[in-house]
Amino acid sequence: MHWSLRIPLSVVLIALLGCASSSPTRPTDVATSDFAARVADSPWSYVKGGPSAAARGVEALAVIGGFRVHPDPGDDGVIRVVDGDKVVVNATDIAPRPPAPPSYLVVNWGDGPNQRVGCGPCRMDHAYAPGRYTLVASADGLPAERSISITVEVSAAREKRTSHVEFFGFSPSDVAVGGTGVILLPTVAPPGVTLTNIFGECVPDEDILQPNGTASTFPTYVALPFITTGPGTCTLFLVGEDASGPFTDTSTLTIH
């Protein structure tokens, strides 16, 4: 069962920066107000919990037969990705712990020979060409046989939508547990763009994203280093308005 918890990222970010938080007033125009100075001074205070992740369709990694898979299969059991996106299989949850004998994750992605990795990492990912494939994952070295079979449909890559600002979101956007990166928050918007809010949330647990050093300030954005401590998904939302009307840009971090 999927569940969500709105992450109070402001708490994590303020702890990173070593400064107190207060509820920010909503800026009227990033380019002309003091919003840039306030974001640079306390950026985590602008990353606030918003509507539930479940309501936005943000879910934790699917677990099938004890294997974690990403992306989640649809209601018909099919995983759908675009050319260039990776499918992930992780057997950490069912791997025996030392001093048990070694175990191995074995995956046939449906487009080549079996691949095998120890547990250890117990995780593999794979990028497909467009087409339809049958993924079969199994685990060697367990007391009982465990395996799953999933259909994967891969469509041609579509043009990616760009953000209204140059620097916003998670970089990189896909990491393993223990991986590091930065969160980019804008302090200056292009002409004609007004930013009104930035907030974020993680599922299934607020502790999967932690600070990993001090923030760096640049002319148009702030970079906040992070480290991941567990699998799940974090999403940032940037709310604003331009000549076409209101918009919400999103950036998603997937942790395997």
One domain, residues 163 and 54: yes
One domain, residues 179 and 232: yes
**How many other C-beta atoms lie within 10 A of the C-beta of residue 110?**
17
Last residue of a domain, one of 155, 183, 209: 155
One domain, residues 173 and 199: yes
In angstroms, rounded to a whole number, what is the distance separating the alpha carbons of residues 99 and 110? 33
Q: Which residue has the higher pLDDT, 33 or 87?
A: 87
Last residue of a domain, one of 139, 155, 171: 155
- Going by C-alpha positions, the residue among 223, 247, 227 that lies closest to residue 39 is 223
Q: Is residue 50 classed as helix, strand or coil in its secondary structure?
A: coil
Query: Is the confidence at residue 167, as pLDDT, over 60?
Result: yes
One domain, residues 165 and 238: yes
Here the CATH number for the domain that contains residue 167 is 2.60.40
Is residue 123 very low, low, confident or very high in pLDDT (cuts 50, 70, 90)? confident
Give bridge partners of residue 152 from the DSSP assignment. 79, 133
Query: Is the confidence at residue 110, as pLDDT, over 90?
Result: yes
The reply to whether 223 falls in a domain is yes
One domain, residues 71 and 147: yes
One domain, residues 145 and 225: no
One domain, residues 29 and 102: no
One domain, residues 36 and 117: no
One domain, residues 85 and 45: no
The reply to whether 215 falls in a domain is yes
The reply to whether 121 falls in a domain is yes
One domain, residues 189 and 207: yes
**Residue 211: what pLDDT?**
86
Last residue of a domain, one of 155, 179, 204: 155
Which domain, by its residues, includes 85? Answer: 62-155
In angstroms, rounded to a whole number, what is the distance separating the alpha carbons of residues 127 and 240? 34
Q: Is residue 12 classed as helix, strand or coil in its secondary structure?
A: helix
The reply to whether 1 falls in a domain is no
Look up residue 106 and give its two tokens.
């074995």
**Residue 38: what pLDDT?**
55
Here the CATH number for the domain that contains residue 92 is 2.60.40.10
The reply to whether 95 falls in a domain is yes
pLDDT (average), residues 159-166:
69
The reply to whether 150 falls in a domain is yes
The total of structural domains in the chain comes to: 2
**Residue 115: what pLDDT?**
93
Look at the block and give the residue holding tokens 């060409």: 129
Is residue 161 very low, low, confident or very high in pLDDT (cuts 50, 70, 90)? low
